[in-house]
């Protein structure tokens, strides 16, 4: 009987030790898992931040700080889809710096870069709402997207931009240099079924008309779309 009690106690003690060891192992495993989850969460946040930075860099023009052509194409697609739902018009302004090649030839490419930066700042100061977008279209051309905007309001914004750029001076090597811009305006109405490329092409035709008629002016496209 004593031997049976002793064996039972030994078995119980070993069982308690096994349970304790299992509990300790489980506690260590839980701590390890918690640490691993925390590390994974931190790494995930880092990756998300890096991806966000990469996206920002890939859609931003490095010289002017404006959004670039890649972003513009994406934004126009989004806004055309919104237009189809809201049935409210959208305006696209295409802008070109007048005689920019001559400006570069006369004052140098560094002055040309400064000119592009100053125009970009003017555009950003003239847009109205958070949904308005000023982008660098390429070279000395810029594009402004004005969602939910009628022709009259779009012309007012374009004239404000044209006037602001005409009246400001670019200080370069002790000289005050004047520049002007030509602007084409195209309105996409509620029945517009075209692509961003179609819309930009129509705005470009209006821009070309501004150039042909003497530059430093705004032309509203007569094409209804």
Q: Which residues are catalytic?
A: 140
Residue count of the chain: 225
Secondary structure class of 90 (helix, strand, coil): strand
Pairing of strands 141-146, 133-138: antiparallel
Report the half-sphere exposure of 108 (CA within 13 A, side-chain side): 5
Within the chain, residue ranges assigned H as helices are 2-58, 69-86, 100-107, 109-126, 151-167, 196-212
Taking the C-alpha atoms of residue 208 and residue 219, their distance in angstroms, rounded to an integer, is: 9
């Amino acid at each position: 009987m004593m031997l049976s009690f002793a064996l039972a106690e030994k078995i119980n003690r070993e069982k308690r030790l096994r349970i304790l060891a299992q509990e300790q192992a489980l506690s260590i495993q839980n701590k390890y898992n918690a640490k691993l989850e925390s590390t994974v969460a931190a790494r995930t946040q880092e990756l998300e931040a890096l991806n966000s930075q990469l996206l920002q860099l890939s859609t931003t023009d490095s010289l002017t700080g404006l959004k670039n052509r890649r972003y513009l194409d994406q934004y126009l697609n989004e806004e055309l889809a919104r237009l189809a739902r809201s049935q409210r018009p959208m305006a696209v302004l295409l802008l070109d710096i007048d005689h920019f090649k001559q400006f570069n030839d006369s004052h140098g490419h560094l002055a040309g870069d400064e000119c592009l930066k100053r125009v970009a700042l003017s555009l950003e100061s003239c847009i109205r709402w958070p949904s308005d977008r000023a982008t660098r279209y390429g070279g000395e051309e810029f594009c402004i997207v004005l969602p939910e905007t009628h022709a009259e309001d779009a012309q007012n914004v374009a004239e404000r931009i044209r006037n602001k750029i005409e009246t400001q001076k670019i200080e370069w090597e002790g000289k005050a240099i004047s520049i002007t811009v030509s602007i084409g305006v195209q309105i996409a109405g509620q029945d517009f079924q075209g692509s961003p490329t179609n819309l930009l092409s129509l705005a470009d035709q209006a821009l070309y008309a501004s150039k042909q008629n003497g530059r430093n002016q705004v032309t509203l496209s007569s094409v209804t779309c």
